Structure 1
Amino acid sequence: MSKPTPPSLQIHLHTLFFLFLTFPFHATSQVNDSEQTTLLKLKQQWANPPSINHWNSSSNHCSWPEINCTNGYVTSLKLTAKNITETIPPSICDLKNLTLIELQQNFIPGPFPKVLYNCAKLRYLDVSENYFVGHIPDDIDLLSPQLYYLSLSFNNFSGDIPPAIGRLLGLQTLKLDANMFNGSIPQEIGSLSNLEILVMENNSFVPSTIPLSFTKLKKLRELWMREMNLIGEIPENIGSLTALEVLDLSINELSGNIPSGVFLLKNLSTLYLFKNRLSGSIPLSVEALNLTAIDLSANNLNGTIPDDFGKLTKLAGLSLFFNQLSGAIPASIGRLPELTDFRVFTNNLSGELPPDFGLYSKLEGFQVATNGFTGVLPKNLCAHGVLLGVVAFDNNLSGELPKSLGNCQSLLIVRIHGNRFSGEIPDGLWTLLNLTVLMISDNSFSGKLPGRVGTNLSLVEISDNQFSGEIPPEISSWETLTVFKASNNLFSGTIPQELTALPHLTTVLLDRNRLSGNFPSNLISWKSLSTLNLSGNQLSGPIPAEIGFLLVLTELDLSENEFSGQIPPAIGDLRLTWLNFSSNRFTGRIPSEFENSAFDSSFLNNPGLCASKPSLGLNICNSKTRNSSKFSSQFIVVVSSISAVLFVIAMTLTLFVVRGFQKRKIGLDSMWKLTSFQRLNFTASNISSGLTESNAIGSGGSGKVYRVPINYSGDYVAVKRIWNDKKLDQKLEKEFLAEVEVLSTIRHANIVKLMCCISSDNSKLLVYEYLENRSLDRWLHGKRRPSSVSGSVHHVVLDWPTRLQIAVGAARGLCYMHHDCSPPIVHRDVKSSNVLLDSEFNAKIADFGLARILVKHGEPNTVSSVAGSFGYIAPEYAHTSRVNEKIDVYSFGVILLELVTGKEANDGDETTSLAEWAWHHVQKSNPIEDALDKDIMEPCYLDEMSNVFKLGIICTGTFPSTRPTMKEVLQILFRCNNPMAFREKNIGREYDAAPLLNNSKRERMVEHEDDGFTSIV
């Protein structure tokens, strides 16, 4: 018989048993509390970004959307695009069970985060699209051996990729693209036997061949090596990568033949080899029947298009343009059932186009320009109703256009100029609702202009045809028209007044027709017109004085007509780059602005014209010399006649040269040196052919800017062409190189993207992304112009939330330049015209022609001359030429004042600039709201606008030391909607603008001894 257990022991055992049963619960609870504490600490160390304000101690952290828990433990941290601006703290690895970290699309600075070595269970790491800089550490293999996904894309890592990365043997995905690597490609990557996806594109490695070790990656499904400075030949045994589905080796310097093994990869679906130096013919045998996209464009390939391509039943896109291919297109390609995009332009192809194109597949793009095709256009191109563009210019195509195009409602672009088409345009084509571009010049089309066109038609080029009749008065309904080129046709009658009612017109070419009557009056709606050519008609009468109100007009040609009377003096106020009034009946004095050698051939064969100086070969404007200059006038007539003959000969030769240039296909590209910094879907000749006056959208001291279309889908790029003035060659060369040097190294959402630079012997081009809403100054200050240009789309008043969004975006761009670039960059010409806006009014800093990478500490930081624009120049810069970030802060402060007041930078009432005016306004104790833009001021925005006005005043302080940094400016803008005292305590510094407003002296300062920071008090 056992002894009974003592009561005290029973209680003790019960207690132990209870503790034993409940221990896991308490342990888990304690861990949960600890992990929540860690997460809240992370939030604090990241400066409490508003995007995770819901992280608080009163809620369960496992319920936060950025956190995933397994069995109560944090295993996943997803913080994509949360506006994190601080480094990754070591405490992140206090989350011991963390397997996944996503921190992409933030603003995290600093070197590679070695603190992540302590996350022992990490399997998935994505820190792409941040501001990381420096080298990837040589001991990167200290990351968790369980890591299978690593993405460092879209940062600023540089130098070599360390061989140690080849020891992360668990990796299945490795993404290193879009950085600044400038070293070598390690062979050790070939040791990653589990690798399935390798992305290394868009890096400037030293010239390297494709590592042979890569052919050992038997599990590799995707290989992306675009734009990596690859040289040499594609390895012949690349066909051993039997799992390969995607191969992209484009935009490199690869040479030699395309290995036949490429087309034997049975799993291959995407093949991109465009823009290399590959030669020879395309392999004839094709077994990669899964191919959906082939792009071999911009190489030196010759021979014919293989018939086997017609067996690729899954092929959706075939791009072979810019090669030297010859022969006919295999008819079977026209019958491919999945083909949507077909591009073979600029080759030596010939024969008739296969008639089945579009009949068996939903064809969207058809580009066969600049070849030697004959016959007619296929009539079934739009059989499925999804065709976007027909690009077939510069061939020998003939016959009439297929009537089916007139019913193709999806059609955006038709470019068939430079052929031998005839007959009338199908009626429905003019009125297609989506048609934007119609370019049919240099054919033999006939007929009359329609009274009505589609509501989106913006560019019409019908020159060098046989169109006749009058220009219909219904042309006033062509409301979206921007370019109208109708030179060398048979149009008669008068120029209808209704043509001048089109507000978006930038180019009107009606030269060499049979037009008569007077110059149209009431030109007030032509506020966007930059080019007007009416030469070679029978127009008569005086020129209306309103022509002087066409403020953006740069080219004007009224020669070879019967115009009479005086030349309106107001024309002298225009900034014309081309002017021709010759061979008319003008009388009187020419405007004095034209009395210089730039216009020495602009007034010939107008016996009644005179000038105050003899430099133009005109009569002197006084009676004595008029009578004594009869012999001189006769001499001028003879010289003018000879000049006219020489001019005709020169123009004829030029025409042949231009035609020959257009027909010289591959030779055209060889004239240009193209250096790309982004993925490109265009070539140098695409850009050069678009540098026409009809595409010009602006000009400045160093060049003209064009909007150039690059494909049939309506995509554009902005091209800045440096002026070719020999007196400025050295200066402009310096500006060109400065802009390329700076922009080619920058990748930021708020800095305009430089896509490439293009050089030839006599031209230098910078190609940028095109931003639809152009520059900020057009939106803010368009309404300040004379009434003759009011009402344009860019005069719509921006509301305050949009202006604040623009301020934040521009501040982000400058903040990146000053604080996250290594070395830092100062812009030197920050102004509202250099703040560009995309379709969503996101701001991007542009025009780095004056930018300068700051010198190292201790070196002289002055420049030889002061750059910038009046109203934006910091006082110390004007006097000492000292260059540092604070001159940009001053200029940005002026932009803030523009945003809140609506005034221009040089608009300061009785004072000299907006900044001075704002300071005087405050010194006089005037209410801030009296300075704000009345067009947008609403009670709910008053505090925000007042705070930004105060910030603008602080930024434009006389002394550089009184101005905040751009990092502080950005933080203040984030919090400017706080109606309390306008105070910013970021990064250990205090800003209080309230005392400033009661201060009678702008320059009173006090030095904060704790951090050496000077602020106005």
Structure 2
Amino acid sequence: MSRSDTSCLSLLLVVLFLLLVTGGCRSQRAAAAGDREALLAAKREWGTPPQLASWDPAAAPDHCNWTGVTCATGGGGVVTGITLPRFNLTGTVPAAVRALKSLARLDLSYNNLTGAFPAAALHACAGLRFLDLSNNQFSGPLPRDIDGLSPAMEHLNLSVNGFDGEVPPAVARLTALKSLLLDTNRFTGAYPAAEISNLAGLEILTLADNAFPPAPVPVEFAKLTNLTYLLMDNMNLIGDIPEAFSSLTELTVFSLASNKLTGSIPAWVLQHTNLQKIYLFTNNLSGELPRNVTAMRLVEFDVSTNQLTGDIPEAFGDLKNLTFLSLYKNKFTGAIPATIGLLPRLRDIRIQDNQFSGELPPELGKHSPFANLDVGNNNLSGRLPEWLCASGTLYNIDAFNNNFSGEFPAKLSDCVTINNLMFYNNRFSCDFPAKVWSFPELTTVMIQNNSFTGTLPSEISSKISRIEMGNDIFSGSVPTSATGLLTFLAENNRLAGELPPDMSKLSNLTDFSVPGNRITGSIPTSIKLLQKLNSLNLSGNKISGTIPPGSIGLLRALTILDLSGNELAGDIPPDMGQLHLSSLNMSLNQFTGEVPPLLQIPAYSRSFLGNHLCASAADWGTNLPTCPGGARDELSRVLIILFSLLGGAVLIGCVGVAWLLFRRRKESHEVTDWKMTSFTPLDFTESDVLRGIREENVIVSGGSGKVYRIHLGRDEEGGGRMVAVKRIWNSRKVDEKLDKEFESEMKVLGSIRRNNIVKLLCCISSQDAKLLVYEYMENGSLDRWLHHRDREGAPAPLDWPTRLAIAVDAARGLSYMHHGCAQPVVHRDVKSSNMPKVADFGLARMLAKAGEPESVSAIGGTFGYMPPAHMLIWRRIVCRIRVQVKGEREGGRLQLRRRPAYQEGPPFDDVADVEIRDDTACLQDVLSVFTLGVICTGEEPQARPSMKDVLQQLIRCCRVPAEAETCRVE
């Protein structure tokens, strides 16, 4: 070939190359333009949310700079990723996504997306490797051809949604998977264990919190030797923990908690060289802990609430990375190894409710950032370790119901971080440090039934809300200032001096009990400032003088009053008759005069013995003499003369009256007999209850009747019992609706025995009235603690752990009703005034058994708390807001005014109650619970989780990382 021919050929190749490059650039620009249009179409399908305001070609021409958008490196504008978690998105996955041919990553987690799995849109994304749709409201079954997703898929996260049915076997044909997260859904069918075990590259597998059929732990998973994270709690697993799982040598997190496992803990679990977190709590495991522990990387170990026995092996002292050790509610015995106290990272020990003995490790807390000690209900003895607060991070000591002795540790008296001391029922002695009463974070001091001595300072820290120090040897006087104090119980000490003349700085007290002390002086008039007081016990002291009018008689919240065994004298002020007391004792004093007429009732027949009192009611049933003279005697004489003159006429009149009464009784179907049906052994009769049905005992008036608080006298030990009685009183024309409510409530509660559900003791009925007798909830309802904060008598704010514990208890009760009863129960009026125990079943109905017709179509309940299709807004434990918001109802649909805020992340200024907003350690749990509330009130019924799902999700919120132990609620 000549030189000219070669030159021509070279020129031709250059031209062809330029044409190809030019065509490629045009093709790339076209793809980029198509991707931008697809993003804009997706924005429109999502309703143009404000969170995507940056998706605006006019303001930002380059879509690669739009929020959450990632493009291919090297320019060109081809979209490879969309990452929009917590963006408050609604709807579903837009169909426009299918146009993003190069999309490799799609993260839409923690939004409010609904509908079925978006197979059509996602199957078109041939290069998708990362898909996260977790924490949304998707529902329905997964598609059987889910393997139509990209074969390159490595990460698939569908957890915390409402998917149901079975897990399709086709998921195992996504052979590139490294992460498969399907936990916290509503799967009830099978899951393909054998097929999943063929995903050789799988590193993360979560199937937890699903109602799969009961089955053994799938031994096939032993083939997944690359697993680092295996979460299978609460999925109805039975049988033993497989020995074959010892092949999972890469595991770091292993959870089989909240199942029904039996057998012992295999030795390999604690000999594993990579395991960091082990959760096996709430099963029925037995046997002892393995003796040979070589898992030097173990960080958290929780086997609480099982049937495990034996002691803590000495080898646990070799777990140098251990931060959290939870063994509570088992049958462990023996001593706690001293080497536990040498662990350098240990923060939290929970071993309560066992049978441990001996002393605590003497250097516990000296070598680690120790924060929490729960050892109550054991047989431990000796002294508390001196070093518990050496790191300055200790916040809680629960050491009650043991045999600890000695004095309060000197170094602990400087532990200003502590907020909870529970030392009751031990043998502690010597002075209780006075400086403890001024700790800035201290809220609870329960040190009763010891031998502590010392005095109380005149001013107590405003953070302290509860002091129980009965049956100790404290002296000094009652504090004059404790502005945050709600409960002060100091019976049988040596307190002396007078009550504070100015009690305004104790105005938050709800329970004030100091019987069996040496208090002198008189009752100050300023006691009327304790308007929140429910219980006042000053008995067994040396208080003298008179009761000032306008003092105790103005305490309208008071239900229990005991002034017995003092030296009080003079008249009983008439205004005390205005009190609605369930228990009254003013005996063994020096009172004179007449008992106020409003107090002359059978319930108080033994409340005034040992005084110099009289009564005007001769048939009162007491030994008090009848008051002499006065208008009553004159009236009696007039009546005697009158009846003597009209004796004959009365006889005739009686016959006529008897005939009229008989006729009226016949017309009204009056029946005087009462029928009592008991559901548990009782120590009272229907007469005891009927005597307490008086207006002064009314505590609630509702739509279907009144509720009375009735004290049923005193038992042999002087205690008695309190009950709540709901009365449905029929008019002459029987109200069928009220009859049905009564029958429903009796039918439901009479068959339920659950700690989380209010206990129905008996029912009493006649044709005139129907009575339900319940256990009495002394602390009132959750409504009072959440929503009456700006009223007089309001309780202290509830912290987040307490709110979460209440939510879990309520969910346990409702879950039992829905899933644990032979016939499921629908309450239909769940609200904070019917909590913390599930109460007020006036609208509950047993669901019909299969094939038995029964209508529950009527809309009933309190407006705002009915099923989501009928209501407005929840009153939430997170927000502390009322449910009914004026002007927010449109066609009966739920309008969640707080919904836009729940995905925005901290500080949740528009969501969290101000009283928990500053608890930064728990904000993620707050958001999770609020999100759960939003999901539970979704507009699509099939997307709402079951109560079993809700319960498990709340329980999962209690399981938090080590850096946020303050949020733990077990």
What is the TM-score with the length of structure 2 in the denominator? 0.68
The count of residues paired between Structure 1 and Structure 2 equals 747
SS in 1 for 2:525: coil
Checking the alignment, whether the CA contact within 8 Å between 2:503 and 2:530 is kept in structure 1 is no
Q: Do the aligned partners of 2:434 and 2:455 also contact (CA within 8 Å) in 1?
A: no
Contact 1:210 1:230 in 2 (8 A): yes
**Partner of residue 126, structure 1:** 132
Q: How does 1:324-473 map to 2 (within 5 A)?
A: 324-472=331-479
Letter in 1 for 2:306: N
SS at match of 2:23: helix
Amino acid across the alignment from 1:464: N
State the Cα distance separating 1:792 from its structure 2 match: 9.0
Q: Does 1:269 align with 2:276?
A: yes
Which residue of structure 2 aligns with residue 527 of structure 1?
Answer: 531
Counterpart in the other structure of 1:143: 149
Residue type of the alignment partner of 1:23: G
**Mapped contact 1:363–1:382 kept (Cα < 8 A):** yes
Q: For 1:471-510, list aligned pairs within 5 A.
A: 471-472=478-479, 475-476=480-481, 478-510=482-514
The answer for the alignment partner of 1:290 in structure 2 is 297
Does the CA-based 8 Å contact 2:470-2:493 persist in structure 1? Answer: yes
CA distance in 2, matches of 1:340, 1:885: 43
Determine the C-alpha separation between the residues in 2 that align with 1:139 and 1:445: 71
Deviation, structure 1 residue 791: 10
Q: What is the aligned partner in structure 2 of residue 775 from structure 1? A: 786
Q: 1:222 to 1:582 in 2, by over 3 A?
A: farther
Partner of 2:891: 964
Q: How does 1:899-918 map to 2 (within 5 A)?
A: none
Q: Indicate which of 77, 82, 85 corresponds to 1:80.
A: 85
- Write the distance in 2 (CA, Å) between the matches of 1:598 and 1:833: 28
Amino acid at match of 2:119: K
Higher relative contact order (CA 8 A, sep 6+): 2
Q: Which residue of 1 aligns with 2:68?
A: 66
Classify the secondary structure of the residue corresponding to 1:775: helix
Deviation at 1:307, TM superposition (A): 1.0
Aligned CA distance change for structure 1 residues 90 and 517 (closer, same or farther; 3 Å): same
Question: How many Å separate the matches in 1 of 2:365 and 2:490?
Answer: 31
- Segments of structure 2 that go 5 or more residues without pairing to the other structure are 6-11, 635-698, 710-720, 729-741, 762-773, 798-824, 876-880, 902-970
| 2:526 aligned counterpart, secondary structure | coil
For 1:256, what is the secondary structure of its paired residue? coil
Cα drift, residue 211 of structure 1: 1.0
- The code of the aligned residue for 2:198 comes to S
Say if 1:609 and 1:266 are closer, same or farther in 2 by CA, change over 3 A. farther
46-55 vs 606-615, greater mean Cα deviation: 606-615
1:182 aligns with 2:109: no
Q: Could you tell which deviates more after superposition, 350-359 or 261-270? A: 350-359
CA distance in 2 between counterparts of 1:826 and 1:85 reads 29
Q: 1:560 to 1:110 in 2, by over 3 A?
A: farther
Q: State the alpha-carbon separation in 2 of the partners of residues 453 and 322 from structure 1.
A: 35
Q: Tell whether the 8 Å contact from 2:873 to 2:894 is kept in structure 1 after alignment.
A: no
| Secondary structure, aligned partner of 2:476 | strand
**Please, which of 94, 113, 124 is the counterpart of residue 108 of structure 1?**
113
Q: Distance in 2 between matches of 1:328 and 1:48?
A: 64
Contact 1:536/1:561 (8 A) holds in 2: yes
The answer on 1:547 being equivalent to 2:474 is no
Higher helix share: 1
Q: Aligned partners of 1:178 and 1:738: how far apart in 2?
A: 31
- Give 3-state SS (helix, strand or coil) of 2:96's partner: helix
Aligned amino acid, residue 539 of structure 2:
S
Structure 1 residue 283, shift from structure 2 partner: 0.9
* Structure 1 residue aligned with 2:663: none
Q: What amino acid does structure 2 have at the position aligned with 1:38? A: A
The residue number in structure 2 matching 1:912 is none
Percent identical pairs in the alignment equals 37
- TM superposition shift of 1:432: 2.3
Equivalent position of 2:585 in the other structure: 580
1:239–1:264 Cα contact (<8 Å) kept = no
Question: C-alpha offsets along residues 406-440 of structure 1, whole Å, 9 cap, x if unaligned?
Answer: 11222222211111111101233233222222211
User: Gapped runs of 5+ residues in structure 1?
Assistant: 6-11, 629-697, 706-720, 742-755, 783-788, 795-824, 837-845, 875-882, 893-897, 906-947, 956-962, 975-1017
Quote the residue 1:712 is aligned against.
none
Cα gap change, 1:399/1:109 in structure 2, threshold over 3 Å: closer, same or farther?
A: same
Q: Paired residue for 1:171, among 174, 177, 189?
A: 177
Could you say if the C-alpha distance between residues 964 and 463 of structure 1 is closer, same or farther in structure 2, counting changes exceeding 3 Å? Answer: same
Q: Match for residue 688 of structure 1? A: none
1:332-371 CA-to-partner distances (Å, cap 9, x unmatched) read 2122222221222221111222212122222212222221
Higher mean alpha-carbon deviation, 133-142 vs 274-283, is at 133-142
Q: Kindly indicate whether the alpha-carbon contact (under 8 Å) linking 1:501 and 1:526 is maintained by their aligned counterparts in 2.
A: no
Q: CA RMSD in A?
A: 4.7
- One-letter amino acid of the structure 2 residue matched with residue 775 of structure 1: L
CA distance in 2, matches of 1:62, 1:468: 74
Task: State the secondary structure of the residue aligned to 2:286.
Answer: strand
Shift of 1:463: 0.8
CA distance in 1, matches of 2:311, 2:874: 58
From the superposition, tell whether residues 972 and 304 of structure 1 become closer, same or farther in structure 2 (CA, over 3 Å): closer
TM-score, normalised to structure 1, is: 0.65
Q: In structure 2, what is the Cα distance between the partners aligned to 1:253 and 1:103?
A: 35
Deviations 1:582-621 (A, max 9, x none): 4445556666776666555545555625365835536597
The residue aligned with 1:40 is 40
Secondary structure, in 3 states, of the residue corresponding to 1:354? coil
The answer for the alignment partner of 2:330 in structure 1 is: 323
Distance change (3 Å), C-alpha of 1:334 and 1:555: same
Cα 1:736–1:618 change in 2 (3 A) is same
Cα distance in 2 for partners of 1:239, 1:699 equals: 60
Decide whether aligned partners of structure 1 residues 424 and 207 sit closer, same or farther in structure 2, where only a CA change above 3 A counts: same
CA contact (8 A) 1:297 1:319 kept: yes
856, 878, 888: which one aligns with 2:871: 888
Distance 1:860 1:113, change over 3 A: farther
CA distance in 2, matches of 1:559, 1:216: 74
* Contact 1:757/1:764 (8 A) holds in 2: no
Cα deviation, 1:249-268, whole Å, max 9, x if unaligned, reads 22222111111121221111
Q: Does the alignment pair 1:213 with 2:220?
A: yes
User: For 1:137-166, what per-residue CA distance to the aligned partner results, in whole angstroms no more than 9, with x for missing partners?
Assistant: 333222222211122222222333233323
Find the aligned partners of 1:759 and 1:221 in 2 and give their Cα distance. 44
My pick for the range that moved more, 506-515 or 446-455, is 446-455
Contact 2:843 2:861 in 1 (8 A): no
Letter in 2 for 1:327: G
Equivalent pair of 1:112/1:133 in contact (CA under 8 Å): yes
Deviation, 1:233, is 1.2
The alpha-carbon deviation at position 219 of structure 1 amounts to: 0.7
